[in-house]
Structure 1
């Protein structure tokens, strides 16, 4: 700490309550944080009492922060406020509560704190105890307070002790050897005397320096003899895992092993009761010790890492004969959640975090905080561990993935809300380390993206702790010259609520499959298509003929260009020219007509179409994916959503690398839809056979916001973004509880305005239903991207999805009838430099709401004016 020099005025001096101790320390100063390192809490308590009494006589406000498991240090009185704090909520919640308390009491308050070492029982790592002190101590100093703390030095690592010493103004050791108790100041900021830092014996209220070196030596020898059998100065975290490793795995000790495993699970894997129950059943001592060996730092590994590890253990435990052969060993490492907080504290970002956590700063403070994170530096001890991690991976590509505490849990998928970053991991070690640090900063900064913050707020998570751990994975795949990619990748869901044929069983599950990196399986693919496969009828497609099947197949492939470009997208034809060893014959079919034309024109041939029919016909792929999904759903007792890569082996058939597993977001088993039979022809807005997602739908619609396709098609790209902004504003300004349906051309939420309306999902998350309409002869076509991040967003927020193809014989659509259904109609925008009125139409229906109904069994969907109720 630093401060002004010179002689302090008398009003800046504070008494310890013991004149003899005041003489040793030259008194206390306003702003002092005083840390007592003790072996017995009574040695702290005996100094607290006179300090509190002296402060009370001067009329000081005294706040006692009560969080320890030991008996109270003081009792509440008129000028002593006892504030009980719960550390079990985690570092951020506890530190934030203390921060707000200090803000509330402002300048000049005095503080007494329980023993900091008791926080270890809640946090399991003294790294965070040190970070708590590094956050709170400077804030107390700024507000002219005096605060007292205690800790047991034998329970903390040297790194933490050093950081506390560096941060505090006064540090005092209390040594005890039997009845011989001596006080030795270690640090007294900006004060000094010839004997200040010697041990001092208390004699009749005086503290007498031990000036005889013989006495000092004997005292030190007695202290060391007393401590000879104590634990070395290791982090509490390390001692916890040492205890786990040393606990026998024998029936006689089963209770002890269960207890230590449970303690580890609660500080390493999850706080969520349902995830903890799965972890207790499927992660044992060996698995936990393996996680520790691959962990950088300490703290939670986060939801994404926990889900992946639990799912792998479920498969290997439930059917080892299959999955020991077909499930590839994972090669993952983890950056613990404590590293995230240490990074924030190390870069002085905690005050900004506190401003951002306030309601008024929740969104406005985020951009500056994001910039601060991107400019931050890593503590030296973590940089060294990251270097060793890169040594392990060599020059294989790495995927740096978010794995926050709340991510991929029951009810909160956070699908696509936080960043994942591919690293080609090429070049000299210092270049690769720099790229890894940049990737980690990018993922950390994504916690401050507006999309993530709005998602958290909408789900009531904005005030809950959300530390960001990271999952670092060797990218599964092979080198094809300069390009690196897996043979195939996919998303699988164990419950298929987008069945397009009434013979299909939703319980059989579904897969979205692509060649190359799985980015094209989890995101809406602009201008391209993943293979959507119902696992009970894998060869059936929602297409009318082979030409349509080829047209709506995957034409672009995401790969890693290890020559420097990183993640890129290549046309399949170009990739095939550059990499002759691609397994195209096992993933696709030759388009004979296109191949013939290519030969005539002197172009490369044959032309391949990625239909994945050879993989399906081979048989093992479908049976193994069905087994994987069914096994995980049974263990989770809930539908699941997994991400995986596929390795095509000549000897073993397809093998899998499971990279993610989470509970599947579903709209629930709502009641079957009630639709009039026959549908009232003149009262029908639209009807469809299939092409909806989310299960049964029974909704009342009070307002429709429609983007007029004819007008929208004439707009420039900037004007289309203005339309998206206008739609978002209309949704945000709608009365609470109003059920809104959006209707628009092509794809809502697209990043390519030529394909639809480029709204942000955060702007439309309050709607009830989303309708995409194929317009302009197929140029703006809906994307039924079931299993994608977009779908997760829809289902988690309870939004029904419908795709309309008016040219299809199974679809009826009468937008002109909105004029007769609505009680009020607005043509927007009314005034705009870019847009003419009528691009956006708003139809008020509250006087006569429409019904949106869908039945997943019959695959019937309709939106209509409900008939009048029949009198009883």
Structure 2
């Protein structure tokens, strides 16, 4: 059926030759008017498309004749829009093989290689399909819902890279993380990828996130959330410099499979490291470019099951954690705003003035777009800026998401006003309907949970423009796995006298009867939050002894476990506490931090059926018999931590729907 040849109507000389639909889309505005008129008045365009079996566009254009329209510019626009819509429709829910002749700004999702997409890659394909099969996502004016432009390097690319560079020996050795990374950075990726990467740069024209998508990640029963690295690189006009950064980032993600923490995690989950295979996701970073930094207005994590319902919320109404800037801030346990999409007017954190001022987000993360080069570190956050919210004010990125504290009237006013501290409340979005985020999150939760047939966790990001138009990007979906154990007894009916500790704000579900040890932080008069980093190191060592012996323990300590801010709690990472069966946060009289949620190991807690209890004796919310443990002999003791052992196993009971939890004496 050949190419479409545009000719000069007078001389019949060839002006332009079109090979494909994408070429027609790219060149439709470059064809001279007289040639354009010659072809459309004879319906050539419709015929050519029909010959190529592109029937929907052909039929549509057939009806728009020159006699009816008589406007060349309008014709060009109609043809262009029809092609864009057709290509959009063709991409729906399909994981196409990456083709540099076809991938452009209108493509969404493609794969390079023949292997597996990995856990996150599958999740993205799944999200893409959910959005495309439910048109009510895009019924809100001025709002679009989509996944970011994504290319997945399948697992066979990883296999080829490991074998051609002989990396297994160093990878599986006891070498340090830095040494493993150095070897991987010196290795070579296949040259055949270069042209594909250049096409991807051209299509996204923005920073790129390089994320791990391993076979085990987001598996339905053992999600490996946050174990491997995610790097981000800025967009550069110099595509060779950008290529060098991208190659380093991909190799850095590959290397992270073999870091010390990953190996420890593998052991904890009874998986074998040399069976792990890594796909890598290249994804446009959602956000906007400001002066030397790049970030979105809103990032969030949405869960379709809320283990901390307040007021008239129900567990199944779900919960979202929202923050300004990159989502890494939420994952690292930063201060976020918690809101149920079905109750956007009911937000505990902004209900009282002093709470709102104390618990608002004060810092945010952004990509440093000036940090260029191949100095990649084991820490994947090496080029992420940790900024004060004040900086976002200079960027004018707080429109619709901040309120202003008026110190004279002692009130917080929704919106941005001169003077006064800015408080991140998302009030215009949640309460004033500037952007339909609550409704879109309700749809995401509903369709996500229906499609996976189980509760889900979804990561997302939003850009909202000054004209109130915006886009919601769904970044990842994974199941929340509830423990399979049945709970027959009523936890609330167990007498206090039988319990060592009790919480009315617990998360987790099931019964455990094989734990004898309690590991707890000494919270006497000498306790100070400045010791928290040292306490984290002591607990890591204690945890290792439990991993080695294959046993578990109950972990009790003050403030937020796993917070990246060591003043809010003990900054442990999941591998440092992976043998704990129940983790308890206790509020002290002079040290009260609100319960943590949305930290990275939250997903791991639910998948391993680990309980998470919050106790605040000052408010009468549960109790912890610490004096009883103090009187017992310790089996292990450090400067800040004690370990006590009971002769017979403790009984741990958790009711996930009612948020009741207790640890009973043997």
**TM score, norm. by length of structure 2:** 0.74
Partner of 1:574: 391
Distance change >3 Å, CA 703–CA 287, structure 1 → 2: same
Which structure's CA Rg is the greater one? 1
Q: Does 1:347 align with 2:165?
A: yes
Q: Choose from 767, 781, 786 the match for 2:580.
A: 767
2:148 aligned with 1:315 = no
Query: Displacement of 1:439 after TM fit?
Result: 1.0
1:414 matched residue in structure 2: 224
Q: Which residue pairs with 1:615 in the alignment? A: 429
Decide which moves more: 540-549 or 625-634: 540-549
1:740 paired residue number:
553
Measured after TM superposition, the shift of residue 788 of structure 1 is 3.3
1:98-113 equivalence runs, <5 A: none
User: What residue in structure 2 maps to residue 728 of structure 1?
Assistant: 543
Q: Please state whether the residue corresponding to 1:448 is helix, strand or coil.
A: coil
Counterpart for residue 853 of structure 1: 653
Closer/same/farther in 2, CA of residues 730 and 470 from structure 1, 3 Å limit: closer
Q: How does 1:270-669 map to 2 (within 5 A)?
A: 287-289=94-96, 294-319=110-135, 322=138, 326-328=144-146, 330-352=148-170, 356=172, 369-394=180-205, 396-426=206-236, 428-462=238-272, 465-501=275-311, 503-525=312-334, 529-542=335-348, 545-564=352-371, 566-576=383-393, 578-579=394-395, 581-584=396-399, 586-593=400-407, 605-619=419-433, 620-649=436-465, 655-668=471-484
Mapped partners of 1:534, 1:717: distance in 2: 31
Aligned to 1:185: none
Cα gap change, 1:392 to 1:675, in 2 (>3 Å) = closer
CA pair 701-342 structure 1, distance change in 2 beyond 3 A: closer
**Are residues 1:862 and 2:662 paired?**
yes
Q: Is the alpha carbon distance of 1:699 and 1:591 closer, same or farther for their aligned partners in structure 2, counting shifts above 3 Å?
A: farther
Question: Relative to 1, partners in 2 of residues 1:365 and 1:814: Cα closer, same or farther, differing over 3 Å?
Answer: closer
Superposition pairs of residues 179-258 of structure 1, within 5 angstroms = none
Deviation per CA, 1:58-115: give whole Å up to 9, x if none: xxxxxxxxxxxxxxxxxxxxxxxxxxxxxxxxxxxxxxxxxxxxxxxxxxxxxxxxxx
The structure 2 residue matched to 1:803, chosen from 614, 628, 643, is: 614
Q: Cα–Cα, structure 1 residues 478 and 714, in superposed 2: closer, same or farther, change >3 Å?
A: closer
Contact 1:326 1:652 in 2 (8 A): no
Instruction: Pick closer, same or farther for the CA change 1:567–1:427 going to 2, 3 Å.
Output: farther
CA deviations 1:606-661 (Å, max 9, x no partner) are: 32211223211135321221111111111111211111111225677553111111
Partner of residue 33, structure 1:
none
Q: 707-716 or 611-620: which moved more? A: 707-716
**Of 611, 629, 634, which residue of structure 2 is paired with 1:825?**
634
Kept in 2, the 8 Å contact 1:553–1:611? The answer is yes
CA contact (8 A) 2:124 2:147 kept: no
Closer, same or farther in 2 for the Cα pair 1:854/1:717, shift >3 Å? closer
Q: CA shift at 1:497, angstroms?
A: 2.4
Deviation of 1:485 after TM superposition, in Å, equals: 1.5
What displacement does 1:768 show?
1.3
RMSD: 3.6
Q: Distance in 2 between matches of 1:725 and 1:857?
A: 31
Contact 2:491-2:660 at 8 Å conserved across structures = no
C-alpha distance after superposition, 1:24-47 (max 9, x if no partner): xxxxxxxxxxxxxxxxxxxxxxxx
Query: Any unmatched runs of 5+ in structure 1?
Result: 1-246, 251-281, 830-834, 867-872
Residue 591 of structure 2 is aligned to residue 784 of structure 1: no
* Residue deviations 1:349-384 (CA, integer Å, cap 9, x gap): 24546xx2xxxx5x5697754442132122322234
Q: Which deviates the most, 436-445 or 316-325?
A: 316-325
Greater relative CO (CA pairs within 8 A, separation 6+): 2
The structure that is helix-richer by fraction is: 1
Structure 1 residue 308, shift from structure 2 partner:
0.9
**2:643 is the alignment partner of 1:842:** yes
Paired residues of 1:851 and 1:863 also in contact (CA < 8 A)? yes
| TM-score, normalisation: structure 1 | 0.58
Q: What is the CA distance between 1:521 and its match in structure 2? A: 2.3
Distance 1:330 1:311 in 2: 11
